[in-house]
A and B are shown apart, each in its own frame.
Chain A
Amino acid sequence: MVEVSYYPGCSLHGTAAEYDESIRAVCQALDVVLAELPDWNCCGASSAHFLDDDLAVRLSARNLLLAERQGLDLLIPCAACFQRLKHADRQLRASPGRFADQPYDGRAPIYHVNDFFQRPELLQRIEEKVRRRLTGLAGVPYYGCLSQRPPKVTGAARCENPEAMDDLMRAIGMEVRPWTYKTDCCGGSLAVARTDLVRKLSGDLFAAAQEAGAECIVTDCPMCQANLDMRQTEIEAERGVRYGLPVFYVTELMALALGDGRTARWWKKHFLDPSPLLESKGLL
């Protein structure tokens, strides 16, 4: 049994509920116990860190101190939360007294979803427990930027060409299509201000994914998922092309492969219903 502290952040309690549920389902199947941080608070992404870096660090620092009290590794599924807490971790280590009035050791590693499940023991467990290999389902892994960059904050070893999610997809039998857009920006942070740019950036990703022979896009960032899933019809209309690429959370597909029975209710939360694709592959 593996026990890990869990910081869901606001997205996973809202727009990305299916991400949260699928992570829980996967953890259950893999015998991983999620210990949700008691009384966690906002990580300070978006509003706080644009306006007041000190405040943003303090917000995340509080969460880190809570996690340190739990004494476990920390899993943060939201890429923005992950990056904020990693940033705070760096700041806390650099100037311990500045952001908190209690000591901070920072012993616990902080994981994002792809790196967490790609730990060898878990990867092996996934391979052992897969009930239904998603053979014949071709997708591209899309990491986005926040979980990877800047590498000195995220600690990503190969921020330009990460492979953790590729490994997870392979472990559940998917075909990983090679493409060179794994960490290109989807425009998520301009989702409100400059939708024209978002449509350009996300549209380029769809075009590249389609060219790569993918039938779906697989991600582990709630902003990317929302952005790509929500905008696709709009972009298709604007460009006059059809992509029809469902955007999955990697954990949704892992749960499917691990034989979880609750997947159907997640598909309903997608803007582009992935069921027809999965049905055509005999996976539903």
Chain B
Amino acid sequence: MSRALANRFTPYMFMAPAVVIMAMALIYPLGYMIWGSFRAWNPSQSIGEAEFVGLKNYVTLWKDPNFHESLGVTLKFAFFVVSFEMIIGVGLALLLDRNIRGMSVLRTMFILPMMIAPVVVGLMWRYMYHPTVGTFNRLLNDWGLPKIDWLGQHALNSIIIADIWQWTPFIFILSLAALQSLPSSALEAAKIDGATSWQQIIHIKIPLMMPVLIVTCLLRLIDAFKVLEVILVMTQGGPGLSTEILALRISRTATEFRELGVAAAMSNYLLLLLLALTVGMFLFTRLQEVRAARIRAAIDEDL
């Protein structure tokens, strides 16, 4: 009898610590923040003491050109970063999907950029982009070419490059793993039918890899909105606001301008945006899954 009782409570006992911690440090703060976004809130006050201002924070942001610029920068950054990383990562995976000696050593070296702290990545690139003593400009100088103002005029491009450096390995490893788990039967069949490697790629490999690619793309997209430390160290959001992505703007509004209510409202906008993107990708995944299932079924029929 007690055994059965214990069994009934077991799942709850297993789940309890996780639920408690996530509730305390994730759910409650998020709720707090949503509630706080309707107030004029200062870091030294607890919410009860903050004055209720209704939708004022949201309206202020909606009309704020700085917010629009920051939003634009964020979307641009996320779009370019994810697109380039996907293209380069998948491309490299397709190219390097061969049996060569030392592949595991290579993979080890490719993972390195991902493991380094974003702060340190920012440091390294800031040095390399330095207008006078940085590696790139010194090289350009040596080759007689004009120096480029990396962190000035081309700040956004420079941080995109730095992020590509850090995260393409992620896409690459995942795509490679997906490629290596494809059913070889399908590829054999295609080769026998005389398909060129290009056709193989487009009609077989990529569609079959799609589920993985979608998940990877989604993961990377979500993470692209979280990038902050690299930008903080390299440009601090400058020049002007040209590299101030929303996450950075939120943290600045909170710590520098000390307007937690406005920061909270901005956070809510960001979360809504992320939610919209996630749901969008989710629906897209469904479509692709249906399509991939259809292809698999067709292949199975033929064999």
A-B complex is real: no
Q: Which residues of A contact B (CB under 8 A)?
A: none
